[in-house]
């Protein structure tokens, strides 16, 4: 097992191939760039092939219990042998393969002697992974997050498990994402930007750049995008909240603890309205279309409408533990932390011959400075004044 020269791209581009026979299963999927020079080889007895390392002909990985192995054979075929010497998987590259390389980009590739790629695992989007020969006889590529990206037992790539939560102490690496059932994703992109996507496209971004950037949900409650050299590039400024986690909701990436929402990507987007289940968290606001009015959720727990002449209306609430203004799917408006501090309900009676409750509700900060809640038929069902 040998280390490859650093600083050179090993990504490859191949058309898919299929070899026949039980031991000749393989697939080609990678993106071709520069092929590195060959490296000196040494017999390997380790169970792990890390990023930047290779197996030359005659070298192998051996499971910790010594019963299973991956052999880069002299005939050019990479073969997994189970206990008793029974072959269970092969790259199908006999007569062509010369080395097996675990690339920095996460792709496992068999190269010919002239540098041509002849087989690849197709895991190029999972940088920093490692290949393990396990005691159960399975050869597995693991992502840095710890999830399996490819396995010889299934002969193909494994999608990353979907999760909507980044817990304290956890890291989101390039190519990794959070995802909701409804299709919202938060992606740590390969270009170093953390982006929240909805069905209509990008909703929010950290505005960071640089290969190797990672997002860390720290133990102190702060979420930070770090550069490859460890320099902080962006932060949620939520330190001092050790119980906080990052959670993705439909259209919104949030940091919250048991007492409420501390940070929200949706709250940072300029908007004049609030949709059902929407939040205005401490330090964020609604802004009228004219730009002259703002409804701000203050850090002291008061929700205040400001206009050209100063404060115009307020809930007159106070809180020291992260209160937020919200509208429920039933149209209920409230200011709450762990307790409800202020509460209003929409009008639901409209007289003889008129429809009753009509969803969905919407709250708008109008150009006249009033907060007005409308039902699904466009009828005003609550207003801050007048």
- The answer on 97 and 33 residing in a single domain is yes
Residue finishing a domain among 216, 250, 284: 250
* Percent of the chain residues past pLDDT 90, beyond the cut: 56
Q: What's the pLDDT score for residue 268? A: 72
In a domain, 258, yes or no: no
Which region among 47-56, 196-205, 223-232, 295-304 has the lowest average model confidence (pLDDT)?
196-205
Q: What's the pLDDT score for residue 125? A: 67
b or e along 305-331 (b: 16 or more beta carbons within 10 Å of the residue's beta carbon)? bbeeeeebbbbebebeebbbbbbeeeb
b or e along 239-271 (b: 16 or more beta carbons within 10 Å of the residue's beta carbon)? eebeebbbbbbebbbbbbbebbbbbbbbbeeeb
pLDDT mean over 1-18: 38
Check whether 20 has a pLDDT greater than 50: no
- The answer on 109 and 21 residing in a single domain is yes
Check whether 37 has a pLDDT greater than 80: no
Q: What's the pLDDT score for residue 129? A: 85
pLDDT mean over 248-256: 93
Check whether 29 has a pLDDT greater than 80: no
Domain that holds residue 131: 2-157
CB 177 within 8 A of CB 192: no
CB 272 within 8 A of CB 262: no
CB 49 within 8 A of CB 130: yes
- The answer on 286 and 241 residing in a single domain is no
In a domain, 134, yes or no: yes
- The answer on 194 and 136 residing in a single domain is no
Q: What's the pLDDT score for residue 178? A: 94
- The answer on 212 and 279 residing in a single domain is no
- The answer on 200 and 141 residing in a single domain is no
pLDDT mean over 118-126: 87
Q: What's the pLDDT score for residue 267? A: 72
| Distance in angstroms (rounded) separating the CA atoms of residues 43 and 55 | 8
Beta-carbon neighbour count of residue 98 at 10 Å?
Answer: 19
In a domain, 257, yes or no: no
pLDDT mean over 84-110: 95
Q: What's the pLDDT score for residue 13? A: 33
Check whether 6 has a pLDDT greater than 90: no
Of residues 268 and 90, more confidence is placed in 90
Question: What is the pLDDT of the chain when averaged over all its residues?
Answer: 85
- The answer on 289 and 223 residing in a single domain is no
Check whether 15 has a pLDDT greater than 50: no
As for how many domains the chain has, the answer is 3
CATH of the domain at 104: 2.90.10.10
Q: What's the pLDDT score for residue 2? A: 55
């Amino acid at each position: 097992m040998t280390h490859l020269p650093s600083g050179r791209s090993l990504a490859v581009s191949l058309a898919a191939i299929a070899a026949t026979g039980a031991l000749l299963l393989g697939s080609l999927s990678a993106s071709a760039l520069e092929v590195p020079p060959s490296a000196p080889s040494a017999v390997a007895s380790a169970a792990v092939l890390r990023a930047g390392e290779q197996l030359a002909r005659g070298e192998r990985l051996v499971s910790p219990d010594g019963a299973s192995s991956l052999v880069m054979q002299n005939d050019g075929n990479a073969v997994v042998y189970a206990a008793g010497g029974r072959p269970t998987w092969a790259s199908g590259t006999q007569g062509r393969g010369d080395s097996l390389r675990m690339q920095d980009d996460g792709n496992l590739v068999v190269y010919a002697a002239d540098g041509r790629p002849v087989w690849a695992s197709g895991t190029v989007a999972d940088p920093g992974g490692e290949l393990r020969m396990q005691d159960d006889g399975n050869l597995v590529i693991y992502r840095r997050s710890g999830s399996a990206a490819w396995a010889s037992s299934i002969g193909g790539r494994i999608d990353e498990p979907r999760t909507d939560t980044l817990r304290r102490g956890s890291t989101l690496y390039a190519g990794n994402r959070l995802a909701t059932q409804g299709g919202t994703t938060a992606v740590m992109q390969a270009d170093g930007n953390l982006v929240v996507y909805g069905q209509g496209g990008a909703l929010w971004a950290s505005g960071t750049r640089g290969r190797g950037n990672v997002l860390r949900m720290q133990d102190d409650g702060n979420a930070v995008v770090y550069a490859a050299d460890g320099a902080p590039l962006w932060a949620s400024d939520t330190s001092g909240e050790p119980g906080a986690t990052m959670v993705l909701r439909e259209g919104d990436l949030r940091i919250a603890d048991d007492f409420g929402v501390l940070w929200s990507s949706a709250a940072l987007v300029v908007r004049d309205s609030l949709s059902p289940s929407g939040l205005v968290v401490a330090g964020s606001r609604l802004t009228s279309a004219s730009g002259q009015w703002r409804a701000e959720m203050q850090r002291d727990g008061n929700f205040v409408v400001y206009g050209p002449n100063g404060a115009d209306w307020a809930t007159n609430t106070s809180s020291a533990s992260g209160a937020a203004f919200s509208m429920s799917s039933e149209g209920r408006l409230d200011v709450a932390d762990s307790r409800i501090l202020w509460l209003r309900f929409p009008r639901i009676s409209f007289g003889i011959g008129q429809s009753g409750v009509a969803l969905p509700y919407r709250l708008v900060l109008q150009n006249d400075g009033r907060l007005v809640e409308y039902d699904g038929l466009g009828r005003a069902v609550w207003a801050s004044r007048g």
